[in-house]
Amino acid sequence: MALCSDDPREPELLVELASRYAEPHRAYHGLAHLDALARLYGDVERGPGWVHPAEVKLAILFHDAIYEPGRGDNEARSAALAGERLADWPIDLGRVQAMIHATAAHDRVDARGDPDLALFLDADMAIIGTPPAIYDAYTRGVQQEFAKIPAAMFRAGRRAFVVAQLARASLFHTSFFRDRYDRQARANLERELTALDAT
């Protein structure tokens, strides 16, 4: 995802981030996830549009820049990395970091009044509304990333996530994503819950 910032440091930054997303332990949170978000960024750009496009692009690029499965501070560390790398860039760094922090709790964030945040969070969660084969690859990838955790513990955590999602009145913050992904997302989650309960 090119930033088109005209900043001579951009190529070096993109190389660094690409190497981070290519780390071998990233079965899901890797370059393919970043590519999917870049495509969704374009979909939104052609649809409702972004208010702060540069900040959204940077939030996408940095939101999983640091990812160690099982740690609860990946988002905070990724936001801190963005702060280090972008400290003197002509952007609203606070906005970038706030968007990254928000990915720690997609379903508990009040994104009303901030269309960029709402669309960004929905894009990050759009994977749950993809066709079954893609969704199943996503769940396998997440399970692979947590391979060091006992299987029963992983299933319990995953089940809690699925149940919490299904309990939400709406899986997405925006009508743009809700209309495109909500129905399939619920079908995917119901199917996964059935599979989890059968093991």
What does the DSSP assignment read for 79-100?
HHHHHHHTTTSSS-HHHHHHHH
User: Could you report the per-residue pLDDT of 101-126, keeping only the tens digit for each?
Assistant: 999 998 788 898 999 999 999 999 99
Domain membership of residue 166 (yes or no) is yes
Q: Please give the DSSP secondary-structure letter assigned to residue 129.
A: G
Domain membership of residue 3 (yes or no) is no
Domain membership of residue 4 (yes or no) is no
User: Could you report the per-residue pLDDT of 184-194, keeping only the tens digit for each?
Assistant: 999 999 999 99
pTM of the full predicted structure? 0.95
Low-confidence ranges of the chain (pLDDT < 50): none
Q: Name the domain count of the chain.
A: 1
> Hunting for tokens 């996830």 — which residue is that?
33
Domain membership of residue 123 (yes or no) is yes
Q: Which domain holds residue 187?
A: 10-197
What is the reported pLDDT for 166? 97
Domain membership of residue 189 (yes or no) is yes
Domain membership of residue 2 (yes or no) is no
Domain membership of residue 181 (yes or no) is yes
Domain membership of residue 164 (yes or no) is yes
What is the reported pLDDT for 1? 61
